[in-house]
Amino acid sequence: MRAVVLAWLLAVFCWSPLPAAEARVVQLPGAEVRVEFDEAVPREQQPLLLEWVAQSGRAVAAYYSGRFPVPEATLLIFSRAGRSVSGGYATGWNGPRARITVGREASRADLLEDDWMLTHEFIHFGFPGVPDQHHWLEEGIACYVEPVARVRLGVLDARRMWAEFVSEMPQGQPQPGDHGLDRTPTWARTYWGGAIFCLLADVEIRRQTDNRRGLEDALRAIVAAGGSIERSWPLARALAVGDAATGTTVLRDLHARLGPNPEAVDLEALWRSLGVVKRGRRQVEFDDSAPLAAVRRAITAGRP
């Protein structure tokens, strides 16, 4: 009941029509995104914002087999002082819609090189709503796929992505008193715990299929079966569709382990096997002699 009330409040207060400048349409592979600007967004900033929307959308489309995961979507852009991007949110109520707030002084580098948030929100369009206790998977997918997609598009360096994973993923490990992912709705477990699940799934799918399949094949199949943000599915359905696409049971097996149980993942061993070697603070080097180095390369290249 609480989730229903929250969704209703968001629909009423977050998605009301804006006192907006003229709406613009950004064409993406297989999709159109209608962009509505708050009246406070400077007119001179709007071309850069549209370029940013297009780049973020192309990254997501490339990950989802060359097509944006929904054919039509609406993006509301609000304005604030400063350079930061904040307040990202996506919903499937009344069609795929996202909102985000951008600083009026945001530079090209701030948006086209450093921003991750809009890509993160667009990725949410490519997965169905699942029951509240599984919300970690929705956020984990967006958290994990976002940098992978931007590396594949060529707007993020692979070393920077892996350095962030090495630095940030330990936050997703279970803490004293935590339960499994299904029963620990903290920020760290929801986002980074979910991202750990997705990384483990991607690596294991590739290991079992000799790098012929990856997590993207599972997510693409879910979209192809109608599992977009506009739909609500039981988690079991999403996992089954994804597993069928990869010819494995990786998603269901991994959920059986991490969903109910507070299992700590040996991330240090995982980095070694992938050939990700820490070198100082937020810096890594690659060891191509590592046993799963080919898997690491395939994750960011999209091919063996």
* pLDDT tens string 46-64: 999 999 999 999 999 999 9
pLDDT tens string 17-40 = 544 456 999 999 999 999 999 999
Q: Is the dihedral of CA 203, 208, 211, 217 positive or negative?
A: negative
Q: How far apart are CA 196 and CA 191, in angstroms?
A: 9
Residues 136 and 118 in one domain: no
Q: Is the pLDDT of residue 2 over 80?
A: no
pLDDT tens string 3-22 = 433 343 344 344 455 444 56
What's residue 280's pLDDT? 81
Query: What Cα–Cα distance (Å) separates residue 169 from each residue in 195, 206, 270?
Result: 7, 20, 12
What is the model's pTM? 0.93
pLDDT more than 90, % of the chain = 90
Query: What Cα–Cα distance (Å) separates residue 227 from each residue in 89, 159, 221, 224?
Result: 19, 32, 9, 7
| CATH value at residue 41 | 1.10.390.10
Of 90, 124, 158, which one is at a domain's C-terminal end?
124
What confidence tier does 145 reach under pLDDT thresholds 50, 70, 90?
Answer: very high
Q: Is the pLDDT of residue 295 over 50?
A: yes
What confidence tier does 97 reach under pLDDT thresholds 50, 70, 90?
Answer: very high
What's residue 181's pLDDT? 98
Average pLDDT, integer, range 187-200: 98
Of 69, 100, 124, which one is at a domain's C-terminal end?
124
Residues 212 and 146 in one domain: yes
Residues 155 and 274 in one domain: yes
Average pLDDT, integer, range 99-106: 98
Residues 208 and 274 in one domain: yes
Residues 166 and 266 in one domain: yes
* Mean pLDDT rounded to a whole number for the chain: 93
* Three-class secondary structure of residue 32 per DSSP: strand
Provide φ and ψ at 57, rounded to 5°: -70, -35
What confidence tier does 281 reach under pLDDT thresholds 50, 70, 90?
Answer: confident
Residues 143 and 269 in one domain: yes
Q: Is the pLDDT of residue 41 over 50?
A: yes
Residues 170 and 211 in one domain: yes
Residues 84 and 148 in one domain: no
What's residue 284's pLDDT? 98
Identify the domain containing residue 86 by its residue range.
2-124
> Interior CA angle at 215 toward 152 and 243, to 5°?
160
Residues 40 and 175 in one domain: no
Residues 207 and 85 in one domain: no
Residues 254 and 172 in one domain: yes
Of 105, 124, 143, which one is at a domain's C-terminal end?
124
Residues 150 and 288 in one domain: yes
Task: Give the number of domains in the chain.
Answer: 2
